[in-house]
Chain A
Amino acid sequence: MSAELGLAALWMAAALAVLQLAGGAIAQRDPYAPLAALVRPAAMLQGFLALFSFGMLLWVFAITDLSVKLVAANSHSMKPMIFKLSGAWGNHEGSMLLWVTVMALAGALIAWIEKRLPEKTMQATLAAQGFVALGFYAFLLLSSNPFERLPVPVPEGNGLNPLLQDIGLAFHPPTLYMGYVGLSVAFSFAVGALVTRQVTPEFARVMRPWVLGAWVFLTMGITAGSYWAYYELGWGGWWFWDPVENASLMPWLAATALLHSASVLAARDALRAWTIMLGVVAFSMSMLGTFLVRSGILTSVHAFAVDPERGSFILALLTIYIGGALLLFALRASTVSEGQRFAATSREGALVFNNVMLSAILGIVLLGTLYPLLTEAFDVRVSVGPPYFNPVGAIFTIPMLLVMAVGPLLRWREDDIERVRAPIAIFIALIVTTALFTVLAKSDIGILPLLGLAVAVGLGVASFMPLRGRNILRVPLATWGMVLAHFGVAVSLLGMASESAFTKEKLVAVAPGGTTELGGFRITLEGVEPVAGPNWTAMEARISAQRGEGKLHVLTPQSRSFWAPAQETTESALLTRWDGQLYAVVGNQADDGRWQLRLWWKPLVTLIWFGGLLICLGGTLAIIGRLVGDLRRRHADRREAEEREEMAALRADASTPAANGEIV
């Protein structure tokens, strides 16, 4: 019954999305049409129904209703409850439903509280939002019904991919979807503004929290996904330029650019068309990512739920939304006037430079990701990897990071570079000194890690410079957010550069009781024993690691075998110290009884993800700062309006005393 209720709610939500689209479209011609008044309520009800539908899906997973095809294919009665629930979105159909649910909730939220934009623009925005949601409903209802019943219930479910039975991964897709959905809201706002030609600073202010939110979630998703790949896959790497990793990076790059150009639009009423373009591009990139993952068009370690039919469906959606939006852009953008002008040496100038750099990096990643698709059309199979992405990306990343250190110090509109000579001198001195010391310490260092280290140190210090000469307590939260996020970039870069410059790796065969050395650690294989979990068995190695005369630490990497479905995975073991991580993986046993151990010492590697967290924190602070600012402004506006009314009332009293029947 629950499955049928969920499906019914989904159909009703789809019908409401149609109403939302139709109402919003009619409102463009006749703002007082009866349907126009229904746009906001339809969006709110649609959000509720989608949430209800997703709740029903969670329920059939929670009770392991094996008559539902999706549950039978992706769950198992023996699984822990948390993984039963996460199984609901750990598959194609469920994750699409989660996506559309979050999107419908976001639509409901803007329909409920957003009153700052002209009503016509809001109606166009909600119509766009309904149109996008409608495509997803059609996809779910016509080709990926999550509530489909089996003719005969199966006695036991088919398990969840053991690689996905991981708490981090249970939350990885929802985080990414929050990000994607935030970008879909930004997209709808952009379309709404383009339709009504209302590309104003107010539009940028309304859109900004959604972009910021999306950006924080995307950063979190990428950070978590990277850490997951690092410890779960057991390859010792943290980024592989895999098509699907790129698919998550591209919307992030576009969102980063959008975030900054929206700030220019909000503060200075410039970059109107460019902001709209980025709004469209950011959402396109998230749709493109979904397409690449789900269609199986590119070979990837992530390829799951691969199905060409789904691929065609998503490609059709992509064509309608993105093609439509780009067509609208081509037709309308020339009628959106350019906005305020500014000098090259100014805050806007620096932001434009970085926007161009970010777009260039985006273009490079996009090209590298799609290149195999292009060559396959000529029957040539290629795989594009780090030798392309790293150096070509760096060409644009390094100048961007340099300008990023200086940009926040500049004034809006026009500035004199002489004014910020001292901070720039400090910044350059830091870079040069770090580079010199690094070369002295390690002469065979690669050029990219060297540049990375030097720029990271310089940028780390420079990111705090916007605070100099200011009362720390009175600095706005949004500025703190920027400082922390920029510092996070520096921290993360330091981790990446250090990992790539100083990592030590060792592949050894050790007999139980045997010892080896790495990165100052004495590493002893104490023994290997079988252990069992709820749905797996494993060989677990006990490894002790000791640095100098310090404390003895025990690591227990495993080689796991899952039995439903049958699959082998390696569970790496990590020893985290303040200055790096010891990473251990246990392999097979050789005929002579020795075990293969793969060991890495990775100095400062944790900074990569710590930096990611700092960026998220910075973004969150910026959102809070902006929202608090908006609330204050709204409050002040209301006060002002009230005062004006009172004054008007008083004046009316004074001018027509007789009207009140008072005797003077």
Chain B
Amino acid sequence: MRWTLWVPLLLFAFFVGLAGYQLSQPKDEFIHSTMIGKPLPEFELKPASSALPGVSTADFRDGKPKLLNIWASWCLPCIAEAPHLEALREAGVEIVGVAIRDKQQDVDRFLETHGNPYSRIGADDISAIQLEIGSSGVPETFVIDGQGIIRHQHIGDVRAENVPELIEKLREAGQ
């Protein structure tokens, strides 16, 4: 009967092995937009800040690829990505912002504190446009080509290593 005393330990070892294997497996937690390759939906957003104009679909059809950045002043990772968006702007990239469920004075304060890489910012008070383009959180950044077609989705904050990536995607979108 002595060997039975080892059964619990063996069962447990099996569990640890299984759990360890599963933990080491990459797991996709992201919700990818199904709108990639499709044109932007029609929308017209009022200005979210006192300094910049609002955003409409027509702004994306001027032949020049742009970034569409979904963000909010209340979002912490948005602060983290602010310097990298600034780097993108310095590299000549046009960034259009959509502020989610925000207030004008908060947006103004955010831009004052963390810099303003945007050419225009629209206010999406009920996440309507966000959901339509298939974004499920803030921040997310989309590459939109010159015809207003969504080319690429970047989920989460833009980090230093993403800057050249996004410039490359924009270049591809411009060809």
State whether B19 touches A291 (Cβ < 8 A).
yes
- Determine if B74 and A329 form an interchain contact, defined as CB atoms under 8 angstroms apart: no
Contact A297 B23 (CB under 8 A): yes
| Cross-chain contact B23 with A73 (CB below 8 angstroms) | no
Restricting to A133-179, which residues have a CB under 8 Å from any CB of B?
A: 152, 154-156, 158-159
Verify B76–A297 contact, CB threshold 8 A.
no
Among the listed A277, A296, A373, A564, which residue makes an inter-chain contact with B8, where contact means beta carbons less than 8 Å apart? A277
A564 touches B12 (CB 8 A): no
Tell whether, in the assembled complex, residue A330 and residue B9 are in contact, meaning their CB atoms are under 8 Å apart: yes
For residue A253, CB closer than 8 A to chain B, the reply is no
Residue of chain B at shortest CB distance from A158: B76
In the assembled complex, the CB of B110 is this many whole angstroms from the nearest CB of chain A, namely 8
Interchain CB contact under 8 A, B16 and A318: yes
- Give CA–CA (A312, B109) in the complex, Å: 40
**In the complex, what distance in Å separates the CA atom of A277 from the CA atom of B18?**
23
Check A315–B12 contact: CB distance below 8 A: no
**Residues of A contacting B5 with CB < 8 Å?**
273, 329-330, 333-334
Query: Are A284 and B12 CB-contacts (below 8 A) given A308-B23, A315-B19, A376-B22?
Result: yes
Residues of A within 8 A of B23 (CB): 295, 297, 308, 311-312, 315
For the complex, give the distance between the alpha carbons of A330 and B9 in Å.
Answer: 8
Residues 1-44 of chain B, each 1 if its beta carbon lies under 8 Å from chain A, else 0: 01001101100110110111111000101000000000000000
Residues of chain B from 69 to 123 with CB closer than 8 A to chain A in the complex: 74-76, 79, 100-101, 106, 109, 113
B108 to chain A, nearest CB (A): 12
Q: Is A374 an interface residue (CB 8 A)?
A: yes
Does A319 sit within 8 A of B, measured CB to CB?
A: yes
Partner of B101, one of A280, A334, A563: A563
CA gap between A152 and B13 in the complex, in Å: 45
Known: A315-B19, A377-B18. A158 touches B9 (CB 8 A): no
When C-beta atoms are compared, the residue in chain B nearest to A155 turns out to be B109
The answer to whether A326 and B12 have CB atoms under 8 Å apart is: yes
For B79, what are the chain A residues with a Cβ–Cβ distance below 8 Å? 152, 154
Task: Contact check, B113 vs A329: say whether CB atoms are below 8 A apart.
Answer: no
Q: Of B6, B76, B106, which contacts A330 at CB under 8 A?
A: B6
Query: Are the CB atoms of B109 and A323 closer together than 8 Å?
Result: no
Q: Does B127 contact A (CB under 8 A)?
A: yes
- For chain A residues 290-339, which have a beta carbon within 8 Å of chain B? 291, 295-297, 306, 308, 311-312, 315, 318-319, 322-323, 326-327, 329-330, 333-334
Q: Is the interface of B mostly helix, strand, loop or mixed?
A: helix
Q: Mark A343-386, 1 if CB is under 8 A from B, else 0.
A: 00000000000000000000000000010011011000000000
A154→B77 CA distance, assembly (Å): 11
The number of chain A residues touching the other chain, given as a range, is 35 or more
State whether A566 and B9 are in contact (beta carbons under 8 Å apart), knowing that A291-B19, A297-B22, A319-B16 are contacts in the complex: no
Q: From residue 112 to 158 of chain B, which have CB atoms closer than 8 A to chain A?
A: 113, 127
Give the residues from 267 to 297 in chain A that come closer than 8 angstroms, CB to CB, to chain B: 273, 277, 280-281, 284, 291, 295-297
Q: How far is the CB of B139 from chain A (nearest CB, A)?
A: 13
Whether A334 contacts B2 by the Cβ 8 Å rule is yes
- Tell me, yes or no, whether A565 is within 8 Å of chain B by CB: yes
B77, closest chain A residue (CB): A158
Could you tell me if B74 and A158 are in contact, using CB atoms closer than 8 angstroms?
yes
* Interface flags, A228-260, vs B, CB<8A=1, else 0: 000000000000000000000000000000000
Decide: A329 and B101 in contact? CB cutoff 8 A: no
Q: Are A323 and B13 in contact (CB under 8 A)?
A: yes
Question: Would you call A377 and B74 a contact (CB within 8 A)?
Answer: no
Looking at the assembled complex, report how far the CB atom of B140 sits from the nearest CB atom of chain A, in whole angstroms: 14
- Measured between alpha carbons, how far is A319 from B19 in the docked complex, in Å? 11
Task: Tell me which residues across on chain B come within 8 A of A319, comparing CB atoms.
Answer: 16
- Decide if B18 touches A327 in the complex (CB within 8 Å): no
Query: Is A72 among interface residues, defined by CB-CB distance under 8 A?
Result: yes
Chain B residues near A563 (CB-CB < 8 A): 101
CB distance from A535 to the nearest CB of B (A): 11
Question: Complex formed: what's the CA distance from A370 to B19 in Å?
Answer: 9
Closest to A562 in B: B101
> In the complex, what residues of B have CB within 8 A of residue A308's CB?
23, 27
CB-contact partner of B21 in A72, A318, A377, under 8 A: A377
**Interface contact A373-B16, CB-CB below 8 Å:** no
Tell me which residues across on chain B come within 8 A of A156, comparing CB atoms: 74, 106
In the complex, the answer to whether B16 meets A155 with C-beta atoms within 8 Å is: no
Is A370 touching B15 in the complex (CB atoms < 8 A)?
yes
A373 touches B19 (CB 8 A): yes
Contact B27 A296 (CB under 8 A): yes
Chain B residue numbers with a CB within 8 Å of A281 are 8
Whole-angstrom distance between the Cβ of A157 and the nearest chain B Cβ: 9
Contact B127 A566 (CB under 8 A): yes
Complex: A152 Cα to B15 Cα, angstroms: 43
Establish whether residues A72 and B9, one from each chain, have CB atoms under 8 Å apart when the complex forms: no
List chain A residues, Cβ under 8 A from B18: 370, 373-374, 377
* Closest residue of A by beta carbon distance from B130: A566
Contact assessment for B19 and A297 in the assembled complex, using a CB-CB cutoff below 8 Å: yes
A329 to B79, CA, bound (A): 52
The 0/1 profile, CB within 8 Å of B marked 1, for residues 504-524 of chain A is 000000000000000000000
| Cβ of A179 to closest chain B Cβ, rounded Å | 22
Closest-by-CB residue of B relative to A72 is B76
Q: Do A566 and B109 have beta carbons less than 8 Å apart? A: no
Residues on the A chain within 8 Å of B113, using CB? 155
The answer to whether A73 and B76 touch across the interface, beta carbons within 8 angstroms, is: yes
CB proximity of B4 to chain A, nearest CB, Å = 9
State whether A323 touches B75 (Cβ < 8 A).
no
With both beta carbons as reference points, the residue of chain A lying nearest to B6 in the complex is identified as: A330
- CB <8 Å contact, B12 and A323: yes
Query: Shortest beta-carbon distance, B144 to chain A, in Å?
Result: 23
Please name all residues of chain A whose beta carbon is closer than 8 Å to the beta carbon of B101 when the two chains form the complex: 563, 566
Q: A536-551: which residues lie under 8 A (CB-CB) from chain B? A: none
Across chains A and B, which 6 residue pairs bring their CB atoms closest together, nearest first? Answer: A326-B9, A330-B5, A566-B101, A330-B6, A333-B5, A326-B8
Not counting A315-B20, A327-B9, A329-B9, a sample of 13 additional A-B residue pairs whose C-beta atoms are within 8 angstroms of each other reads A158-B75, A277-B8, A295-B23, A296-B29, A308-B23, A312-B23, A315-B16, A315-B23, A319-B16, A326-B9, A330-B6, A373-B22, A376-B22
6 A-B contacts, Cβ less than 8 Å apart?
A72-B76, A73-B76, A154-B79, A311-B23, A323-B16, A563-B101
